[in-house]
C-alpha cells in the first residue's frame, strides 16, 4: 500500500486503528478454511478499523476514488475463504462496531451494530426475560454483520430457517461511500425490489453492513436431546421425514458418522451412548412447557421405534445435553488437518440417503473414504475429500466433479450454508447457467462498478485486481 494511502487512511481513523506490520496484520488474512484449501493472502494488504458508519463511509469513498480493493472482515469464522485478500487490499475490520443499540421488547426486535458477536447478543438477551434469537451457525464468535452477509444457517434451520428469515432492517455503506438504510422494525414491507434480501448472502461483494435489525422470539424454557441409533441410514432418514410431517418441530436433527462420534467422544474424554446400529441421530427439542416437551419426545420415540430404531437415549439435564452437543460439534477438530477438500452440498431432504450412499460409493471408487455430517432434516450434507500423505490427491478434481454431478442429479446445490467465497468461484459455473451468471455480474456492476469490494469472491468482473 502506498505511503500516501496509509497517511490518508490514518487521518480518518487515527494511528492506533491501522495495522501495517506483517506479523500483526497476518491475523486478519484468513478465515477458518482448512490450510490445504485456503487462497494465498496478499501480504501487502493493510488493516483499518473504523469505529462508526461515518468513518467507514469516508474509508469507502477514499478507496473507491483511488480504486483500492476492500475486503470486509467480521469474526473470521467463515469456511470458504471469503475474508482473504487475494490482491493488495484494504482489510476493513468491523471489530469496533460493538453497540447493541436497543432490545425493543415491544416490537420484539434487536438493533445492533454489525461487529456485535452472536455470543454478545445472546448474553444481552439473558437480561431480557423470555426473549431469544434462534439462528446459531455453530461458532458464537461469528459477528452479526458476517452472519447477514453470508446468510448463516446451522443446525436450527430445520425449525427457524436461515438468517434471511429474521433480518428486518439494514444500514449499509455502498462502495462509493453512500449510506443506505433499508427496511426497519416492520413485519411487512412490500415497497419495491427488496435490496435488503439481495444484500443478505452477498458475501461482502456489494456493500458493507454497519447496522442490523433482527426479529426476536419468545424463548422456549424446556429442552431435551434424544440420541437414537438405527440399523442403517434409510431407516433413520425415513424416521426423520415422518417426524417432520407429524407436526413435531425439532430444534435440530443431526446425523454424524458413528466413527466420528466415537473418536470425538474419546478425544474429549466423554462417552457416546450409542453402541449399536450404523446410523446415529441427535434430535434436539425445545418447547415452552414441560408437557409439550414430553409429548414431543413420546411422539418422536414412537416414530423411531416404527422405523426399527435399535437404541434411544434421553438427555434431560443441561450437562447431558451439552456433552452430546460437544461430541457433535467437536468432530471438526478431529478431521481438520486431514482434509483436502471440505464440501457443503444440500439436496432435498428425502434424497439424503441416496446422496450419502452415492458419496460413499464415489469415495470407494477412488480408493479413499469420506466423513459425513449432516443437518439431515433440511438436507444439508457436509462431507470431505481426504489428504493422502499430507497432500491433496491427484484425483481430487475428478472426485469433486463426480460428487457435484451426483448432487445436481438429486436436485441439489454446491453449498447449503458456507457460501461460494473464493473456494467455490469456479464451481459455481457447474451449477448456474450463463444467463444466471451474467445477471449476477450485472448486479455486481450496478452496486460496485469499479469492482473494489472483495475481488475474486462469488463472481468475477473486470475492475480492481491490483497486485
Per residue in 211-246, pLDDT tens?
Answer: 999 999 999 999 999 999 999 989 999 999 999 999
Average pLDDT over residues 422-428: 95
pLDDT of residue 459: 94
Taking CA atoms, 109 is separated from 168, 195, 276, 304, 411, in Å, by 8, 20, 45, 38, 36
Taking CA atoms, 339 is separated from 35, 160, 360, 371, in Å, by 9, 30, 16, 10
pLDDT of residue 466: 55
Name the pLDDT band for 467 (thresholds 50, 70, 90): very low
pLDDT of residue 370: 97
User: Residues for the chain: how many in total?
Assistant: 467
Taking CA atoms, 288 is separated from 156, 223, 292, in Å, by 16, 9, 7
Please determine, for residue 20, whether its predicted confidence score (pLDDT) is greater than 60.
yes
pLDDT of residue 81: 95
Average pLDDT over residues 387-403: 96
pLDDT of residue 462: 79
Name the pLDDT band for 41 (thresholds 50, 70, 90): very high
Distance spanning both ends of the chain, measured CA to CA:
10
**Which domains are assigned to the chain?**
100-218 (3.30.465.10), 222-329 (3.30.70.2190), 337-424 (3.30.70.2740)
Does the reported pTM lie above 0.85?
yes
Sign of the dihedral through C-alpha 209, 215, 221, 223: negative
pLDDT of residue 460: 86
Please determine, for residue 307, whether its predicted confidence score (pLDDT) is greater than 90.
yes
Amino acid at each position: 500500500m502506498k505511503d500516501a494511502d496509509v497517511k490518508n487512511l490514518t487521518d480518518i481513523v487515527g494511528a492506533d486503528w491501522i495495522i501495517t506490520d506483517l506479523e500483526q496484520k497476518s491475523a486478519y488474512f484468513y478465515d477458518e478454511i482448512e490450510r490445504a484449501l485456503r487462497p494465498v493472502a496478499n501480504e501487502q494488504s493493510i488493516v483499518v478499523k473504523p469505529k462508526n458508519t461515518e468513518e467507514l463511509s469516508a474509508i469507502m469513498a477514499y478507496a473507491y476514488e483511488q480504486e483500492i480493493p476492500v475486503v470486509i472482515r467480521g469474526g473470521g469464522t467463515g469456511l470458504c475463504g471469503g475474508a482473504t485478500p487475494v490482491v493488495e487490499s484494504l482489510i476493513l475490520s468491523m471489530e469496533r462496531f460493538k453497540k447493541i443499540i436497543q432490545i425493543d421488547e415491544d416490537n420484539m426486535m434487536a438493533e445492533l451494530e454489525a461487529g456485535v458477536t452472536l455470543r454478545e447478543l445472546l448474553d444481552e438477551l439473558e437480561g431480557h426475560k423470555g426473549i431469544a434469537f434462534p439462528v446459531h451457525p455453530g461458532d458464537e464468535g461469528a459477528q452479526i454483520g458476517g452472519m447477514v452477509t453470508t446468510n448463516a444457517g446451522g443446525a436450527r434451520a430445520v425449525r427457524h430457517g436461515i438468517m434471511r428469515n429474521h433480518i428486518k432492517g439494514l444500514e449499509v455503506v455502498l462502495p462509493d461511500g453512500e449510506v443506505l438504510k433499508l427496511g426497519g422494525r416492520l413485519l411487512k414491507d412490500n415497497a419495491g425490489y427488496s435490496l435488503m434480501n439481495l444484500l443478505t448472502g452477498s458475501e461482502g461483494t456489494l456493500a458493507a453492513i454497519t447496522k442490523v435489525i433482527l426479529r426476536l422470539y419468545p424463548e422456549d424454557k424446556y429442552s431435551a436431546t434424544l440420541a437414537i441409533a438405527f440399523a442403517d441410514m434409510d431407516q433413520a432418514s425415513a424416521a426423520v421425514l415422518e417426524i417432520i410431517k407429524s407436526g413435531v418441530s425439532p430444534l435440530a436433527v443431526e446425523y454424524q458418522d458413528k466413527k466420528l462420534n466415537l473418536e470425538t467422544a474419546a478425544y474429549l474424554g466423554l462417552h457416546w451412548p450409542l453402541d449399536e446400529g450404523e446410523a446415529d441421530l441427535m434430535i434436539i427439542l425445545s418447547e415452552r412447557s414441560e408437557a409439550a416437551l414430553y409429548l414431543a419426545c413420546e411422539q418422536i420415540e414412537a416414530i423411531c421405534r416404527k422405523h426399527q430404531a435399535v437404541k434411544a437415549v434421553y438427555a434431560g439435564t443441561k450437562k447431558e445435553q451439552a456433552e452430546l452437543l460437544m461430541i457433535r460439534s467437536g468432530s471438526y477438530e478431529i478431521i481438520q488437518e486431514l482434509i483436502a477438500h471440505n464440501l457443503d452440498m444440500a439436496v432435498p431432504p428425502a434424497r439424503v440417503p441416496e446422496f450419502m450412499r452415492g458419496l460413499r460409493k464415489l469415495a470407494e471408487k477412488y480408493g479413499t473414504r469420506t466423513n459425513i455430517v449432516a443437518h439431515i432434516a433440511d438436507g444439508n450434507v457436509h462431507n470431505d475429500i481426504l489428504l493422502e500423505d499430507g497432500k491433496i490427491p491427484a484425483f481430487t478434481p475428478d472426485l469433486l466433479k463426480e460428487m457435484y454431478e451426483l448432487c445436481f442429479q438429486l436436485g441439489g446445490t454446491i453449498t447449503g450454508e458456507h457460501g461460494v467465497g473464493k473456494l467455490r468461484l469456479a464451481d459455481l459455473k457447474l451449477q448456474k447457467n450463463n444467463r444466471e451468471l451474467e445477471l449476477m455480474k450485472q448486479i455486481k456492476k450496478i452496486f460496485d462498478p469499479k469492482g473494489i469490494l472483495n475481488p475474486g469472491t462469488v463472481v468475477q468482473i473486470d475492475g480492481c485486481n491490483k497486485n
